[in-house]
Amino acid sequence: MLKKNLIKHGKPVLGVCALLLSAGCYEPPDDATNNNPNNQSGYNCTSNLRPLTNDDVNGGKTLAAGTCYQVASTLEVSDGTLNLQAGVRLAFAENVGLRVTEGGRLKAVGSAEEPVILEGLESSKGFWKGVTFVRSPSTDNVLDHVVIDGAGKSGWHGGTSSGGVFIEGDSTLRVRNSLIRNNLAAGIYAPEDGADLTIESSVFEDNQLPLWLNANLIGRVALGNEFNTNTENVIRVGTQGTKVRDAQTWFNHGVNYEVHADFVVEALLTIEKGTRIEFIQGIKVDVRDTGRLKAIGTADAKIVFSGTNEERGFWQGLRFVDTRSADNVLDHVVIEYAGGKGWHGGADSQGNIFVEGDGVTLVIRNSTLRKAKYAGLIVPDGGSDVTLEKNTFSENEVPLRVHPNVVGKLAADNVFTDNDRNAVFVGLGSARTLSGDQTWRNVGVSYEILGTLTVPSKLTIAPGVTLEFRQAAGLDIHEGKLVANAAGAETITFRGVEALANFWRGIRFKKSMTLDNVFDNTVIENGGSDGWHGGADSRANIYMESNTDASRVSIKDTVVRGSGHLGISVMRGSFVDGCEDLSFADNASANTFTPAENVANLCGGLL
Q: Which residue has the higher pLDDT, 334 or 154?
A: 334
Buried-exposed string 80-101: b where 16+ CB fall within 10 A, e elsewhere: ebbbbbbbbbbbbbebbbbbbb
Percent of the chain whose predicted confidence (pLDDT) is above 90: 85
Q: How far apart are CA 108 and CA 130, in angstroms?
A: 14
Interval 168-220: pLDDT, tens: 999 999 999 999 999 999 999 999 988 999 999 999 999 999 999 999 999 99
Residue 11 has pLDDT above 80, yes or no: no
C-alpha distances in Å from residue 344, one per residue of 281, 313, 350, 354: 18, 15, 9, 11
**Residue 23, phi then psi, degrees to nearest 5:** -85, -5
C-alpha distances in Å from residue 12, one per residue of 6, 149, 163, 230, 577: 6, 11, 20, 14, 87
Q: Are 126 and 96 contacting, i.e. CB atoms less than 8 angstroms apart?
A: no
Q: What is the mean pLDDT of the chain?
A: 91
Q: How far apart are CA 219 and CA 272, in angstroms?
A: 11
Interval 22-64: pLDDT, tens: 444 534 334 333 333 333 333 334 557 999 999 999 899 999 9
What's the pLDDT score for residue 323? 96
Considering the entire predicted model, what is its pTM?
Answer: 0.91
What's the pLDDT score for residue 160? 77
Interval 541-579: pLDDT, tens: 999 999 999 999 999 999 999 999 999 999 999 999 999
As a whole number, mean pLDDT of residues 381-388 equals: 93
Which of these, 371, 368, 244, lies nearest to 303 by C-alpha position?
Answer: 368
Q: Which residue has the higher pLDDT, 607 or 510?
A: 510
| The dihedral sign for the CA sequence 135, 137, 138, 139 | positive
